[in-house]
Amino acid sequence: MSLFSNAFPPLIAGAAVIVSGISLQKYWRKHEERFSIIWLLFTVGLFFWFVGESVWMGYTLIWNVEVPYPSVADDFWIAGYIPFFFALYFYVRIFGSALSKKMLAIAMGVAIILALATSFMLINPVIGSEEDMLTLAVDFAYPLLDVALLSISFLGLLIFMNGKLGKSWLLINLGILSNVCGDILFSYTTLQETYYNGHLLELFYHFSYIFFLLASYIHTKEL
Amino acid sequence: MSKKETFKRVLLEAVDEGLLTLGESGREAVYFHLQNLYGVKKDEVPDKIEEFADGLRKIFGLGATVIEKAIIKSLYAKIGMKHEEKKGYSFLAYVKDAENVIQS
């Protein structure tokens, strides 16, 4: 089980990078082109996450570190959020004027509710925790970065949901939502010291890579 | 060249420029899918403007309005018309107005 839970994520993350890379190859024209930049950023974001997964696998399977957290793997995971966020932002910005004020208000409401819910869920275990400041900061950072991604990707879903690209945006949203669930549970269980390698919550991360992979594939197929 | 032919040429140029909202690769992809899924070749867009608009909606959903606006802006600029947004006006209604101006 431990072998699977540590070796599978780099494989599925790597597959997501490859499929996103195929999309990049399709859409790449010039470096100043919007779709070129967007797909480059998506692919770079996923690549960082793939490296994060590989480093985690190295720690657990090669160096036998039980729970390497926080570690260098987190540097790559957190770094991956930056290109991923800008890819979503640049894409949504092209079509942003299609959104009504009502839609923007709904998306903002969803983001605020999620951010508050996340904070409330983690605040109690944080208060009772004896973890150092860095670990606590990372515990909070992941779910909040996920919410930032989700607030943008939700706008994309609202824009495209009635079109063929809607399927791709639904999958992106499901991928990020899986990360939200996984990261909240990971932060919660590490704070409670109940997390172990191969915990069931890791399935959320596996699903998120599968959703991102399918999102890239469907986008390339539909456009 | 007849007025009708002139309008078709100008409309095709406007569509081409409007689709550049997505960049060159996005524009190529849209033409490819319109031809394969809806049987609308690039050169036929002015004659099949309803199918073109329908195809855009089917691909982009609400996002199609952004591309349509870019096309209309470009079209009106090319024929020297001032573009004003009218409530309840569809993409096709704007195109029809432009056609009427050219043919009058």
Q: H/E/C letters for each residue in chain B?
A: CCHHHHHHHHHHHHHHHHHHHHHHHHHHHHHHHHHHHHCCCHHHCCCCHHHHHHHHHHHHHHHHHHHHHHHHHHHHHHCCCCCCCCCCCCHHHHHHHHHHHHHC
The architecture CATH gives domain B3-103: Orthogonal Bundle (1.10)
Which ipTM score applies to this complex? 0.90
Sequence-distant (6+) residues with CB within 8 A of A131 are A139, A190, A191
**What stretch of H or E contains A181?**
helix A165-191
Mean pLDDT of chain A: 92
Give the nearest chain A residue to B68 (CA atoms).
A98
Q: What is the total residue count of chain B?
A: 104
Q: What is the pLDDT of residue A1?
A: 60
- Which of A27, A35, A95 faces B66 most closely, judged by CB atoms? A95
Among all residues of chain A, which has the CA nearest to that of B34?
A223
* Residue indicated by tokens 């480093």: A55
pLDDT for res B81: 86
pTM of the model: 0.92
Q: Is the peptide bond before A70 cis (omega within 30 degrees of 0)?
A: yes
Measure the CA–CA gap between A128 and A120, rounded to whole angstroms. 14
Q: Domain tally for chain A?
A: 1
Tell me how close the Cα of B7 comes to any Cα of chain A, in angstroms: 27
CB B57 within 8 A of CB B80: no
Structural domain range at position A25 = 2-222
Task: Report the first-to-last Cα separation within chain A, whole angstroms.
Answer: 39
Considering only residues A166 and B88, tell me which one the structure prediction assigns the higher pLDDT: A166
Nearest of A82, A207, A201 to residue A141 by alpha carbon? A82
Query: Taking 80 as the threshold, does the pLDDT of residue A31 lie above it?
Result: no
Give the pair of three-digit tokens for residue B11. Answer: 């409309």
pLDDT at A170 > cutoff 90 = yes
Mean pLDDT in chain B? 92
A140 part of contact set with chain B, CB < 8 Å:
no
Chain B positions in Cβ-Cβ contact with residue A26 (cut-off 8 Å) = 25, 29
- The Cα A54–Cα A144 span in angstroms is 23
pLDDT of residue B50: 95
pLDDT of residue A125: 81
At A127 the pLDDT is 79
Is residue A118's pLDDT more than 90?
A: no
Residues A196, A128: Cα–Cα separation, whole Å: 20
Pick the residue from chain B with its C-alpha nearest to A37: B23
Q: What is the nearest CA distance from A159 to chain B, expressed in angstroms?
A: 5
Q: Which of B93, B78, B103 is nearest to B4 (CA)?
A: B103
Task: Report, as an integer, the average pLDDT of B43-50.
Answer: 94
The confidence band for A131, taking pLDDT boundaries of 50, 70 and 90, is: confident
Query: Is A104 an 8 Å CB contact of chain B?
Result: no
pLDDT of residue A32 exceeding 80, the answer is no
Give the distance from residue A42's alpha carbon to the nearest chain B alpha carbon, in angstroms: 16
Domain ranges of chain B: 3-103
